[in-house]
Amino acid sequence: MIEKDMDKTITEHFKEYLSYPEVPIDDRRIDWIFLNEVSEIIAVELKIRNWKNVLRQAMSNRFCSNKSYAAIWYEYAKNIKLDWFEKSGIGLLLVFEDRVEEIIEPKSYLMDEITESMKIIRSNIEDKSDSGVCDNAKKN
């Protein structure tokens, strides 16, 4: 099992959104960005088992998304400290072979709180699209 094995299930969960994998922001990449028609930006970070790392990564996505999720493979969920996610405003998704379960709903950040970050994300998506890197971005 590798993180890429979770991609199909995650994109199916957000099938009403446009999906963009590996979106660059600063010196790193966000695993998935999902956009809807009202410009809502959802960031999702994937990890197989290291819930502390995925929480840290998802927390750094709060400045550039309306909602930020950490997604982890269901078999490694037993030791997760749910209160850490609740206190940080990060949503928690458990990924199974055939479905995703939302365990904790993320805090929703208002658009005016992230307007500048939205410009950066959209610019990076457009740059990837112009270069052909984002040709796989699609409506699921």
Domains and CATH numbers, the chain: 3-139 (3.40.1350.10)
Side-chain half-sphere exposure of 4, counting CA atoms within 13 A: 1
Q: Among 16-20, 30-34, 44-48, 117-121, name the one with the lowest average pLDDT.
A: 117-121
Q: What pLDDT, on a 0 to 100 scale, did the predictor assign at position 132? A: 47
What is residue 22's predicted lDDT score, i.e. its pLDDT? 94
Q: In angstroms, rounded to a whole number, what is the distance separating the alpha carbons of residues 83 and 36? A: 29
Please give the Cα distance from 59 to 71 (Å, whole number). Answer: 12
Sorting pLDDT into bands at 50, 70 and 90, what band is 128?
low
Q: What is the pLDDT of residue 140?
A: 47
Question: Which residues neighbour 109 within 8 Å (Cβ) at sequence distance 6 or greater?
Answer: 62, 65, 66, 67
The pLDDT of residue 76 is above 70? yes
Residue 134: phi and psi, rounded to 5, are -100, 25
Mean pLDDT, residues 69-86? 94
